[in-house]
Amino acid sequence: MEIIIALSVVATIAILVWLLYFGAKYEKQTCYVPTGEIKFVVAGESCRKVIPNLEGTGYHYDYNKGLIDKGERDSFSPPHNILGVYLVSLLYPLEEIHVYPYEWDKLRKGDPTKGEKDYVIDHHPLEYVNSLYLFYTYPILAEEVELEGNLKINVLVNVTFRMVNPILVVFVFKAKWPRLVNATVKGAIATFGQGKTLDAFRKEDKEGGDSAFSVAVKQINDSTNNMPGIIKNYGVAVHAVDFVSYDLVIGSPEEQKAITALEIARLEADADTERARGITVIGGARANALGARLKIASAHDGGTDVLQQEIFTDGLEKFKGDILSLGGDRMPLAITQPQNKSKTERIQNGTHTES
């Protein structure tokens, strides 16, 4: 009798170990639920139990307040676990862990050696998964956001969503909810940019959860008089918004010209300032040099003729016209005294005179 009891105890322990670990490995009678994930026990097409592990996330799945459809609320009960192993059902395969198709996008830095841009969005194909994460981060490219003056830009952001109504997310929208929510986020970004100049958009605070940009996007969470929010519509909420970059959209030649003007206006202004400074410096240097040369020439016999010939030769080299009239005698260059004669007298020997 004692042997039978001992064997029974050993057999019971073995069955429990099998249920706890081997069963959890294959998710038959029991399962593991990693932190930050939610699993669902189904019987056919009906969800029988939600198994969340939100330990340390700062969030709690409330079984009695609004997270589950009212008519189904009585069908759910809080999960129990032993050493991190949760009971699925002793009636497998009548009740089992729900598996569903899911797809996602991921943002990564581009590889210049492969001709990629600064950032690349990788699209992952449909894949079957057995849990729902509490948080999902998706890259969203809001294309052709229209600013003031019909100027358009593409805005790239990384948005972290928090699951609020897991039943709605998994059993109603399944793999479709990211596409639906993304469209709403793009609309919020378009509204944020509306009426802003490119310079104003560039300078707008877009970093951090309290930035004007982040607050504008998060407004889609809650319902308004005109439209229900994404929490009510899709069971998810915008948790965080990370601005990544923006690119100008260049379409027609007119748009390209306008964009180019806007982008380089400040650079041109700076360049003009530097050019003006350069001209002033060069002009001053040339004036100083000429003054020095005149002073030296006036101090030596024949210096006037040499300098006059040098200036005349330099003028010939730089002449770009088609007809050059030199006159009978070239105009002398007075150095030691000002030229007080009238213009007619100075050039009376030339081919062109004026009175």
Contacts of 69 by beta carbon, 8 Å cutoff, 6+ apart? 167
**Which residue, among 334, 146, 348, has the nearest Cα to 251 in the 3D structure?**
146
The whole-angstrom separation of Cα 147 and Cα 197 is 6
The whole-angstrom separation of Cα 103 and Cα 262 is 40
Amino acid letter, residue 326: L
Residue 189, helix vs strand vs coil: helix
For position 10, what pLDDT does the model report?
A: 80
Which residues are 96's β-sheet partners? Answer: 42
The whole-angstrom separation of Cα 309 and Cα 296 is 15
Contacts of 210 by beta carbon, 8 Å cutoff, 6+ apart? none
Give yes or no for a contact between 259 and 248, defined as CB atoms under 8 angstroms apart.
Answer: yes
Residue 54, helix vs strand vs coil: coil
Amino acid letter, residue 138: Y
Start-end of H helices in the chain: 2-17, 23-26, 166-167, 177-193, 198-203, 212-218, 230-234, 253-298, 303-318, 343-346
The whole-angstrom separation of Cα 173 and Cα 136 is 15
The whole-angstrom separation of Cα 80 and Cα 41 is 13
**Per this entry, what is the length of the chain?**
355
Residue ranges with strand state E in 70-172: 81-82, 85-87, 96-97, 100-109, 119-129, 132-133, 135-146, 152-163
pTM to 2 decimal places: 0.64
Q: What is the pLDDT along the chain (355 residues), one digit of tens a residue?
A: 778 887 787 888 777 776 666 666 667 777 889 989 999 999 888 888 888 888 877 777 776 554 444 444 444 555 677 777 888 877 777 888 999 998 889 999 988 888 888 889 898 888 899 999 999 999 999 999 999 888 899 999 999 999 988 988 999 988 788 988 999 999 999 999 998 998 899 888 888 778 899 999 999 998 877 788 999 899 999 999 999 999 888 765 565 666 666 666 645 555 555 555 555 555 555 556 656 655 555 555 555 565 555 555 565 555 555 444 554 454 544 444 444 545 444 444 444 444 4
- Kind and range of the H or E element at 53? strand 46-53
Give yes or no for a contact between 29 and 89, defined as CB atoms under 8 angstroms apart.
Answer: yes
| Tokens found for residue 292 | 């020095």
The whole-angstrom separation of Cα 171 and Cα 128 is 14
For position 210, what pLDDT does the model report?
A: 83
Q: Where do you find CATH 3.30.479.30 in the chain?
A: 101-249
The whole-angstrom separation of Cα 211 and Cα 227 is 24
**Which residue, among 107, 143, 148, 158, has the nearest Cα to 249 in the 3D structure?**
143
| CATH, domain range 101-249 | 3.30.479.30
